[in-house]
């Protein structure tokens, strides 16, 4: 019975509030994506399904992270990285799925997935393992992140998007901006939450801002936003097909 109890949040616990809102927002997005599956051409349904899986996995983890925070008052680092190791590679898969129309290969997909796994594993090591060199591991994680940025902005993924053109190119460009701008929240949160970053520990832009708030806001914007971009691509492409 105790496992069914909901931990109490203080009324002034703004960190816990972002966990709760994040959970509900992700779950609502999942329901939206799953129920819209049959509204589009068959070729886009896998992309919409993956969007729903990303937000659903995040919603489940946010449910447990909210309780962990309420009970312990500590950042649920382990649960957060378990969430990321599942959802971030799926977000990379979205690039492959929307670029399949231009001939994207599974090699591109696995390259993006591999870079995301390196980014996350080294990030976890630097943030969660006591005594580790957080700046070193954070640098390796950052290098993997910028490799993903290179692939989608200048590499094979960009070339495929240019070849596809139209709605696919527009969607690809927006997803690229999410990765460049939205995903940048994660290294900022990492720097704010680990030692060795030129006094950035626990402080961001001169404000006492908990790293979990940074991560929670980033997750909600990036994961739901990714899904909405794919949803818009599927809707526009399906409408164009019907009009033709």
- Give me 51's structure tokens: 């969007």
Residue linked to tokens 């979990």: 212
- Can you give the pLDDT at residue 7? 60
- Can you give the pLDDT at residue 9? 64
- Can you give the pLDDT at residue 47? 95
What is the helix (H) or strand (E) element at residue 115, kind and residue range? helix 106-128
Model confidence, pTM: 0.89
Query: In a 10 Å sphere around its CB, with 0-12 CB exposed, 13-18 middle and 19+ buried, how is residue 131 labelled?
Result: exposed
> Would you call 1 helix, strand, or coil by DSSP?
coil
Mean pLDDT by 10 residues, the chain (244 residues): 54 84 96 93 92 97 92 90 96 96 94 96 88 86 95 96 94 95 83 61 50 87 95 89 63
Query: In a 10 Å sphere around its CB, with 0-12 CB exposed, 13-18 middle and 19+ buried, how is residue 189 labelled?
Result: buried
User: CA 114 from chain center: how many Å?
Assistant: 15
- Can you give the pLDDT at residue 209? 54
Fold type of domain 12-235: Rhopdopsin 7-helix transmembrane proteins (1.20.1070)
- Can you give the pLDDT at residue 127? 85
Return the closest-CA partner of residue 169 out of 181, 153, 183.
Answer: 153
- Can you give the pLDDT at residue 197? 56
Residue linked to tokens 């977000």: 91
């Amino acid at each position: 019975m105790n496992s069914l109890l909901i931990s109490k949040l203080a009324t002034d616990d703004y960190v816990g509030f972002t966990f709760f809102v994040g959970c509900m927002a992700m779950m609502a997005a999942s329901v939206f994506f799953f129920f819209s599956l049959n509204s589009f051409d068959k070729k886009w349904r896998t992309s919409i399904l993956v969007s729903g899986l990303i937000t659903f996995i995040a919603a489940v983890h946010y449910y447990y992270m909210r309780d962990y925070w309420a009970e312990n008052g500590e950042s649920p680092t382990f649960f957060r990285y378990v969430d990321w190791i599942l959802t971030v590679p799926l977000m990379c898969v979205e690039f492959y799925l929307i670029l399949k129309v231009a001939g994207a290969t599974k090699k591109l997909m696995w390259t993006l997935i591999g870079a995301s796994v390196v980014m996350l594993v080294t990030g976890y090591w630097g943030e969660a393992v006591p005594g580790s060199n957080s700046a070193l591991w954070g640098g390796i994680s950052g290098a993997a992140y910028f490799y993903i940025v290179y692939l989608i902005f200048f590499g094979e993924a960009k070339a495929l998007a240019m070849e596809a053109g139209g709605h696919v190119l527009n969607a690809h460009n927006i997803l690229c901006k999410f990765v460049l701008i939205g995903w940048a929240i994660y290294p900022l949160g990492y720097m704010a939450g680990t030692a060795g970053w030129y006094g950035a520990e626990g402080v961001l832009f001169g404000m006492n801002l908990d790293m979990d708030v940074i991560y929670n806001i980033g997750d909600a914007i990036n994961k739901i936003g990714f899904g909405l971009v794919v949803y818009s691509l599927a809707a526009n492409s399906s409408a164009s097909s019907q009009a033709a």
